[in-house]
Copies of this chain bind each other. A is one copy, B any other.
Amino acid sequence: MHAQNLINIIADELPNLNKSESKVAKVILADPDGATQSSIAALAKAAEVSEPSVNRFCKRFNAAGFPDFKLKLAKALVSGVRFVNRNVDPDDEVSSYTPKIFDATINNLAMVRDKISHTRVNQVVDKLIQAKRIYFFGVGASGSVARDAENKFFRFNLPVSFHDDVLMQRMLASTGSTGDVFFFISHTGRTKEVVEIAEIARANGSTVIGLTAPDSPLARVSSVTLDVDVPENTDEYMPMTSRIVHLVILDVLATGVTLRRGPDFLPHLEKIKNSLKPTRYPRTN
């Protein structure tokens, strides 16, 4: 279940509350923002109950007490408000659509941050660590993500490549074997071509990792799936943000691999970093 908002929880629990508790609930639901700013006495009066009733109400919803409850309520309000009205309007100015696009991206990242399965991440890191070869596959926008992944993972001193060409992908998948990791990146997880290729790879005993939508055909074919459940972009003007989320997840995986490799591996990374120095103008300040 989605990380429930305190306000929704209260609304859901309303029928299960006893008389004075439900009085309190109604007052809070009627004006949650006002509730965060009033004292326990004021709220008790507004709900026509005693102060301890309000206090008990708070504890019922897993708050330490009234102040803690107000804090939680305030937090719930923010995340609620933030999800509203973030669509780009046809007559938006730069100053409107710019923050909207940033906010939409940030929101999706925050959502995935809270939902992503750490177990799965760990499993994928395991697979990547054990891999003899890694292939990053993606088409269209996901091709760029795959390319970026290559750019990160080649640092680990193992054969890594990315491919955005489905014929190449198909041929490589057909020659794969145990120890090879095929890492598929796909927003929808329903591109037939991609799913087919994943099936081929899987049939050859290779490990198939899917960075894609949960319950999608690709997810079902994968050995391990990293679910990315960001809302489809219904708005014409709002760009697709799943690519960004994919990139960050790949960052997480790369960090996971680096940490597993241990501190002895750092000099190697340092060497790669330093190799670029002569290509750059030195900093003056």
- Shortest CB-to-CB span from A145 to chain B, Å, is 7
Chain B residues whose C-beta falls within 8 Å of the C-beta of A238 in the assembled complex: 255
B147–A191 touching, CB < 8 Å:
no
Number of contacting residues on A, CB 8 A? 81
Query: Given A98-B113, A101-B251, are A281 and B190 also a contact pair (CB < 8 Å)?
Result: yes
B217–A239 touching, CB < 8 Å:
no
Chain B residues whose C-beta falls within 8 Å of the C-beta of A237 in the assembled complex: 255, 258-259
Chain B residues whose C-beta falls within 8 Å of the C-beta of A252 in the assembled complex: 97-98, 101-102
B281–A217 touching, CB < 8 Å:
yes
The answer, among B121, B269, B282, for a CB contact under 8 Å with A94, is: B121
Cα distance A238–B259 when bound, in Å? 11
B251–A239 touching, CB < 8 Å:
yes
Q: Mark A72-94, 1 if CB is under 8 A from B, else 0.
A: 00110111111000001010111
- Shortest CB-to-CB span from A113 to chain B, Å, is 4
Chain B residues whose C-beta falls within 8 Å of the C-beta of A37 in the assembled complex: 68, 71
Chain B residues whose C-beta falls within 8 Å of the C-beta of A141 in the assembled complex: 148, 151-152
The answer, among B78, B188, B270, for a CB contact under 8 Å with A78, is: B78
B102–A109 touching, CB < 8 Å:
yes
B255–A244 touching, CB < 8 Å:
no
The answer, among B75, B105, B147, for a CB contact under 8 Å with A74, is: B75
Closest to A141 in B: B151
The answer, among B112, B143, B259, B279, for a CB contact under 8 Å with A193, is: B279
- Shortest CB-to-CB span from A250 to chain B, Å, is 9
